[in-house]
Amino acid sequence: MKKTTFILTCMALLMTAGRTGAVPASDINSLVIYYSYSGVTETLANAIANYCGGTLLEVVDHGNYPRPESSTTYNYANNERSQIDAGNWPEIKTAVDNFDQWDAIIICTPLWNGKMANPMLTFLHNHASKLAGKQVALAVTSWSSGITNVVNDAHNQLPNCTFVGNALHINYNNRSNITTMTHNWTSGLDFEAPVAAGDLRVIVGNKTFTATLADNATADAFKALLPLTLNMTELNGNEKYNYLSTNLPSAATNPGTIHSGDIMLYGRNCVVLFYETFNTSYSYTRIGAIDDPTGLSAALGSGDVTVRFEMATASLKGDVNGDGTVNVTDVTTIIDFILGGENIDFETADFNEDGSVNISDVSEIIDYIITH
* Nearer of residues 39 and 159 to ligand FMN, judged by Cβ: 39
Task: Please state the φ and ψ torsions of residue 99, each to the nearest 5 degrees.
Answer: -115, 25
Task: Please tell me whether residue 318 binds ligand FMN under the rule CB under 6 A.
Answer: no
Helix (H) or strand (E) holding 300: helix 296-300
Smallest separation (angstroms) from ligand FMN to the CB of 79: 11
In the chain, the DSSP E strands lie at 19-23, 30-34, 55-58, 104-112, 115-116, 135-141, 162-163, 168-170, 191-194, 200-204, 207-213, 228-235, 239-243, 257-258, 262-266, 270-274, 278-279, 285-290, 305-311
**Binding segment for ligand FMN among 111-119, 181-189, 282-290, 333-341 (CB under 6 A)?**
111-119
- The answer to the question of residue 111 lying near ligand FMN (CB under 6 A) is yes
36 touches ligand FMN by CB under 6 A: yes
Q: Which is nearer to ligand FMN, 40 or 52 (CB)?
A: 40
40 makes contact with ligand FMN (CB under 6 A): yes
Among 16, 30, 135, 142, binds ligand FMN (CB under 6 A): 142
Which 252-281 positions form the footprint of ligand FMN (CB under 6 A)?
Answer: none
Q: Which is closer to ligand FMN, CB of 68 or CB of 355?
A: 68
∠ CA 344-242-264, nearest 5°, is 95
Asked if 39 interacts with ligand FMN (CB under 6 A), we say yes
Phi, psi of 226 (to 5 degrees): -75, 155
Q: Within positions 59 to 78, which residues make up the interface with ligand FMN, using CB under 6 A? A: 69, 73-74, 77
Q: Which stretch binds ligand FMN (CB under 6 A): 33-41, 123-131, 227-235, 248-256?
A: 33-41
Answer yes or no: are the C-beta atoms of 186 and 48 closer than 8 Å. yes
Find the shortest distance in angstroms from Cβ 122 to ligand FMN: 14
- At position 87, the amino acid (one-letter code) is G
CB-based closest residue to ligand FMN: 41
Nearer to ligand FMN, 58 or 220 (CB): 58
Q: What span, in angstroms and rounded, lies between the C-alpha atoms of 110 and 211? A: 44
Considering only the stretches 35-43, 159-167, 200-208, 269-277, report the one whose residues sit in contact with ligand FMN under the rule CB under 6 A. 35-43
Angle made by CA atoms 38, 44, 50, in degrees to the nearest 5: 135
Binding of ligand FMN by 119 (CB under 6 A): no
Nearer to ligand FMN, 81 or 240 (CB): 81
Under DSSP, is residue 326 helix (H, G, I), strand (E, B) or coil? coil
Binding to ligand FMN (CB under 6 A) within 122-141 occurs at 141
For 144, the enclosing helix (H) or strand (E) is none
* 179 part of the interface to ligand FMN, by CB under 6 A: no
Using an 8 Å Cβ cutoff, are 269 and 247 in contact? yes
Q: Does 41 bind ligand FMN (CB under 6 A)?
A: yes
Neighbouring CB atoms inside 10 A of 66's CB total: 13
Interface residues with ligand FMN (CB under 6 A)?
A: 36-42, 69, 73-74, 77, 110-114, 141-145
